């Protein structure tokens, strides 16, 4: 993921907080629905790990 794609991903999440992943992928323009979904899942897992460390 490029910096621009990551920025578009976060902008898409703000616009579509509940999805669908298809809309998020279309907003990004260069990623498939599966790529957007996988990226979101990995970020969610990373955030969970960070939250556990902060406790």
pLDDT in tens, the chain (55 residues): 999 999 999 999 999 999 999 999 999 999 999 999 999 999 999 999 998 888 7
Using CA atoms of 27, 28, 31, 34 in order, give the dihedral in degrees to the nearest 10.
Answer: -50
Its pTM stands at 0.83
CATH number of 3-54: 1.10.10
Q: Do 31 and 40 contact (CB within 8 A), yes or no?
A: no
Per the listing, tokens 């998020």 go with 24
pLDDT for position 2: 98
What are the tokens at 12?
Answer: 């898409």
């Amino acid at each position: 993921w490029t910096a621009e794609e990551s920025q578009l991903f976060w902008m898409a999440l703000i616009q579509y907080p509940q999805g669908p992943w298809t809309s998020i992928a279309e907003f990004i323009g260069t990623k498939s629905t599966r790529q957007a979904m996988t990226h979101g899942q990995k970020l969610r897992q990373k955030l969970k790990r960070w939250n556990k460390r902060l406790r």
